[in-house]
Amino acid sequence: MRTQWCKKAAAAVMAAVMTLSLAACGGSGNTSQGGDSSAADGTHLNFSCYNYSNSMDPITNVNSSWCFLRYGVGECLFRFDENVVVDYALCDAYETEDYITWTLHIREGVQFSNGNAVTASVVKASLERLYDAEANKTGNSTPSQYVTFSSMEADDAAGTVTLVCDSRTVNLPGILAYPWYGIVDTSVIDTEVIGTGPYYVTALEENSTIDLARNEYYWDGEVPYDTIRIFLTEDSSTKAMALKSGDVDLVENITTASDLAELEADDTYYVSTTAGVRLGNSYFNFNGVLGNDALRQAILYAIDDATMCDITVGGMYTAGCSVLPSSLSYGYDQLTDPFAYDLDKALETLDAAGIVDTDGDGYRELDGQRINLSYIAYTSRNLDEFAQAVAITLESIGIGCTVTVQDYDTALANQSAGNFDLITSNATTVPTGDPTGFLGNFYSGNSGTYGYYANDQYDALYEQLLTAADAGEQLELIIQLQQILIDDAATLVHGYYNSTFASRASVVSGADIAPIDYYWITTKIHPAA
């Protein structure tokens, strides 16, 4: 009996020791006031975000240029405000008479985070480096997509850069606000990427963390944090859990609806949501079976976008019918949608077009061939969930559809090669502050990588838009272009992505997401009082 009692006691002691050991291994879960040991003194922010690129050099690719701005490391000559209106940044004045020759005045007294002065010559060198990298294929960024220059001149005495465009470019300030045109210190670019943002990089561990510190030379007000650690986190739920545990103070874009709903319901967290400028859609490949008008129209009739936006992706998107978000002022209210959700009409359209199931296998045939759409999706911003919901709906009306979820680069390669019937997309519709560039995806000269859509009337109006300088005329053309795309069932619009920031309310203030998501870490985000 005594031996048995001793054994039990020993087991209990062992269990207690193990429990205490495990408890000692765990963290307190409350590191929000500067949990990182590197920030024992001063203000510190832990921020978690998806890793789009390990580079911050604007010439590397689109994502790297976005990271340059998003992490608060770099800035452009211009920037967008919360209404997506272009505003001055490193440039504080400009002149142009013909929209071809632009004279930009560089703000005086601005320094890079290493203390070097931002002069007109440095700005010119930075822009030249960007175009050289594209020409030499040393970078994947393609700035000539928006504007090309026949000459660039710098006058350091006057503090001006004179840019001569190859063609009339009405929206040059908006274009120069695009992250590709971020200004870097070219004198040190071979060793590090230095910008003029409120913070600079002190350490970078690829796919893991980025450490930032205050830029002592920042020109635009006080920089609130001494240090920031960015945790690069792929998984949305992980980001939400890190926020809840206190491991991080601020996260961007929680894309799991249930996690976001939990955060919104809890006063501990402040969730900032904005009707973004991103369109979630699926491109049709007009060179395949979806070149058939009735089939595309039936698909639009069959898809219940409102339910998908509100329930399937839990309100992460706002439903709509046009390629330009309803929150932007491009005449959404004046558009009519002839293919609004109506399942019966979808079936009628298919039957009337002779797209019926003749062999009784449950799937409809077109020109004697069973329809089996190849639908490529990638996981970013709930796109795979849309694809699956669309596929399930199409199967229910006898249209075979196989969803293949691929990584972003593979999907993009397949898109460029035209290896798809449907492919998901999530893109900023006003990358340079106006939608002209985005509407160009449907111009027959550019649409090769977007499903080969072609419409002569659309092309003519688009060419008119490129040269229009009057705002009223531009708006009228943009409305007409949108309506043509709707009438042609040119693309399957899912909705408009609502960007989010979630922060711990007791620790962080001012964490509001901007509609155009080039800017994450800004001086507006500061410690809570």
- Please give the residue ranges that form the binding site for other proteins (CB under 8 A): 236-237, 241, 256, 258-259, 261-262, 304, 307-308, 311-312, 385, 388-389, 391-393, 395-396, 403-405
| Contact between residue 178 and residue 428 where contact means Cβ atoms under 8 Å apart | no
Closest approach of other proteins to the CB of residue 256, in Å: 4
Q: What is the spatial distance between Cα 108 and Cα 461, in angstroms, rounded to a whole number?
A: 42
The answer to whether 264 touches 498, Cβ cutoff 8 Å, is no
CA atoms within 13 A on the CB side of 398: 24
Rounded to whole angstroms, how far apart are CA atoms 393 and 303?
A: 7
CB of 104 vs other proteins, minimal distance in Å: 46
Residue 326 C-beta: closest distance to other proteins, Å: 21
Q: Which is nearer to other proteins, 313 or 508 (CB)?
A: 313
Reading phi first (left if > 0) and then psi (alpha if -120 to 50, else beta), residue 510 is in: left
If the CB atoms of residues 16 and 392 are measured against other proteins, the closer one turns out to be 392
Report the nearest approach of other proteins to the CB of residue 100 (Å).
51
CA-to-CA separations, 168 to 31, 98, 253, 268, in angstroms, rounded: 54, 7, 37, 51
Residues written for the chain = 529
CB of 46 to other proteins, least distance (A): 21
In the bound complex, what is the minimum distance in angstroms from residue 312's beta carbon to other proteins? 6
For tokens 């699956």, what's the residue? Answer: 388
Select 391 or 478, whichever has its Cβ closest to other proteins.
391
Of the pair 231, 378, the CB lying nearest other proteins is at 378
Cβ closer to other proteins: 385 or 421?
385
Q: What torsion, rounded to 10 degrees, do the Cα atoms 521, 430, 491, 288 define?
A: -90
Nearer to other proteins, 404 or 509 (CB): 404
Nearest to 399 by CA among 369, 370, 358: 370
d(CA 416, CA 456): 22
Q: Which residue number, 39 or 411, has a Cβ lying nearer to other proteins?
A: 411
Minimal distance in Å, beta carbon 90 to other proteins? Answer: 41
Which structure tokens are listed for 222? 């006080």
Tokens standing for residue 260: 């976001």
Q: How far is the CB of 307 from other proteins (least distance, A)?
A: 5
When the beta carbons of 212 and 308 are compared against other proteins, the nearer one is 308
Least separation in angstroms between CB 308 and other proteins = 6
Query: Least Å distance between CB 259 and other proteins?
Result: 7
CB closer to other proteins out of 98 and 409: 409
Between CA 484 and CA 480 the distance in angstroms is: 6
d(CA 69, CA 210): 14
Instruction: Give the Cα separation of 389 and 312 in Å (integer).
Output: 8
d(CA 235, CA 238): 5
DSSP letter for each residue of 464-495: HHHH---HHHHHHHHHHHHHHHHHTT-EEEEE
Task: Pick the closer one to other proteins by CB: 164 or 241.
Answer: 241
C-alpha Rg value of the chain to the nearest Å: 26
